[in-house]
Structure 1
């Protein structure tokens, strides 16, 4: 299947592509600043699942379909853009001082699911997915090893894992900065608004580059 040296090379390639701040990183950081550590970490989990789901769909043929049918691609793209902008506006509107429970804990299964779902949508619509699963992953596939779709699905676990680690580190870093800012109501409101604006910026960047 794949040797240890090839796996190392694949991990390195994934780190180079994923660690560079893009829509997913900006979104996770924005959620950390607006809502705190746990929401950001759940967002990172959702993002990884969304990216992997997109990769699996690419493996079974959605990638070529999106390339050939521009209308379907535009529906995916603009649906994600509008959702991001809506989330950013909500964060700006509801910015303000928060108590410790809200800052450090996600209340209820519904709230946890919303955080994961939001991250999944961003991950699913991230333009890096097409690059990852049509350029990077295929380089490490072996035609002589059998089922190519299965190979891509299994190898896709590598960028999923790398993305989850990288996004979680960004989330923890941003959440630490947020925790330091909670001592000032004005600064907390400002940083929450900045988080919301950054999410809107993610939507705008996807609109012009996706």
Structure 2
């Protein structure tokens, strides 16, 4: 198992990386604005569940296999980009709908399962997270401390917990702000829906063009 000093150093490095604005932050803010606090938080759970999946895959050595296949990386990346664009188009298609103060954010709020699934799909469709772990984890591993798999799982758990705290905060805060603004207006602004839809489409295009990791 990693030493307390190693865990602390890893947590500090992870915190700096997670605080750096990235596609995941924008996605979760858009989800919070579109669906409210609960949707934002459940989407964050989905994103971090995908991160946990990559942690386990890293511990099992599966991400090393993925890293050797440029075709596999491209396929997963483009699927993720397409999914984000599809979400954006879906929002734009409903831009004419209005809501009441009792349901200030969306006409029909998605279920917890739907919110989690969308977050998970966005997270798992970005293989750059796996490549990041392959480059980041070895710096904190020590063969003298025992099983490398165990060390990866412990450090990965630290990373996921930190990520979940901040991701859920982004989604919840965006949802809170959106709810209060919507309550004042009495209905959702069409311009707001257009902005959200374009955010999804923009993230999809960014992912397809650069393959940047989602953190």
Q: Give the alignment's TM-score, normalised by structure 2.
A: 0.86
Contact 1:43 1:115 in 2 (8 A): yes
- Following the alignment from structure 1 to structure 2, what is the Cα–Cα distance between the partners of residues 122 and 154? 24
Q: What residue in structure 2 maps to residue 209 of structure 1?
A: 210
- Following the alignment from structure 2 to structure 1, what is the Cα–Cα distance between the partners of residues 165 and 99? 27
**Partner of 2:126: helix, strand, or coil?**
coil
Query: Which range moved further: 195-204 or 3-12?
Result: 3-12
Q: CA deviation at 1:147?
A: 2.1
Gaps spanning 5+ residues in structure 2: where?
A: none
Q: What residue in structure 2 maps to residue 24 of structure 1?
A: 24
Deviation per CA, 1:40-73, whole angstroms, max 9, x where unpaired? 1100000000111022212222322222211111
Q: What residue in structure 1 maps to residue 121 of structure 2?
A: 121
- Following the alignment from structure 2 to structure 1, what is the Cα–Cα distance between the partners of residues 205 and 58? 24
Q: CA RMSD in A?
A: 2.5
- Following the alignment from structure 2 to structure 1, what is the Cα–Cα distance between the partners of residues 48 and 69? 26
Contact 1:29 1:195 in 2 (8 A): no
- Following the alignment from structure 2 to structure 1, what is the Cα–Cα distance between the partners of residues 191 and 98? 10
Q: CA deviation at 1:100?
A: 4.9
Q: Give the alignment's TM-score, normalised by structure 1.
A: 0.88
* Greater helix fraction, Structure 1 or Structure 2: 1
Gaps spanning 5+ residues in structure 1: where?
A: none
- Following the alignment from structure 1 to structure 2, what is the Cα–Cα distance between the partners of residues 101 and 13? 42
Contact 2:80 2:121 in 1 (8 A): yes
Q: CA deviation at 1:202?
A: 1.3
- Following the alignment from structure 1 to structure 2, what is the Cα–Cα distance between the partners of residues 196 and 28? 13
- Following the alignment from structure 1 to structure 2, what is the Cα–Cα distance between the partners of residues 128 and 66? 10
Q: Would you say 1:41 and 2:45 are equivalent positions?
A: no
Query: Following superposition of structure 1 onto structure 2, how do residues 159-174 of structure 1 map, counting pairs within 5 Å?
Result: 159-174=159-174
Contact 1:37 1:103 in 2 (8 A): no
Q: CA deviation at 1:111?
A: 1.8
- Following the alignment from structure 2 to structure 1, what is the Cα–Cα distance between the partners of residues 160 and 24? 13
- Following the alignment from structure 1 to structure 2, what is the Cα–Cα distance between the partners of residues 98 and 128? 38
Query: Which range moved further: 131-140 or 158-167?
Result: 131-140
Q: What residue in structure 1 maps to residue 64 of structure 2?
A: 64
Contact 1:24 1:126 in 2 (8 A): no
Q: How many residues align?
A: 209
Q: How has the CA–CA distance of structure 1 residues 154 and 121 changed in structure 2, closer, same or farther, with 3 Å as cutoff?
A: same
